[in-house]
Amino acid sequence: KKADDDRKRQEEKALLENHQEINNDTKENKKPKQESGILIEGIDNLLVRLSHCCNPVPGDDIVGYITKGRGVSVHRVECPNVKAAESQGTRLIDVSWNILPDDRAYYNADLEVQGYNRDGLLNDILQAINNNTKSLNSVNGRIDHNKMANISATIGVKDKEHLQRIIDRIKNIPDVYMVKRPIH
């Protein structure tokens, strides 16, 4: 068992080193590690991307998944895609946030809101979002047969605290029953 674990670690390290060499030879405009806001200990110039299935934001507990040919994909630790990879025991790597105090980046976060449909509900939700962030990237809504409004939005936030303030504001809107961050 220990020999298998050591062999897996060596294979993963070789995969990362090989990918790092490929990245060093690539002339594409990819974000280097230090500009992505993600720190991968001991590895430089590796392509890093934030996963779209769970949209991690600074402050979330995160883990990296070593992809084949696309660098490291960063997920929230509670993401089911990470759980599936973890159960196979392969290609996960420790990563951490490396956000500088003057960082002005906004990170996408998905929200799902449910509430009783009434006049002005969508307006109240959008106002709560717009009063607390510069970036509303998308919104979609529908009413089900029980007159429940189901609203999905993608917003830009600076970090988990910023996101939580927006969630708290939406939760305080009359007739809103649930606000959550979905994982796709």
Rounded CA separation 63/34 (Å): 17
Statement: residue 65 has pLDDT above 80: yes
pLDDT band at 27 (very low <50, low <70, confident <90, very high): very low
- Residue 38: Cβ-neighbour burial (10 angstroms; 0-12, 13-18, 19+): buried
Phi, psi of 141 (to 5 degrees): -145, 155
Rounded CA separation 158/174 (Å): 26
pLDDT in tens, 85-110: 777 766 889 999 988 877 888 999 99
Domain-by-domain residue ranges, the chain?
2-97, 107-180
Phi, psi of 149 (to 5 degrees): -90, 130
pLDDT in tens, 108-138: 999 999 999 999 999 999 999 999 998 999 9
CATH of domain 107-180: 3.30.70.260
Going from the C-alpha of 26 to that of each of 29, 30, 47, 87, the distances in angstroms are 9, 9, 11, 33
H/E run at residue 96: strand 96-97
Residue 77 structure tokens: 């630790």
pLDDT of 11 reads 57
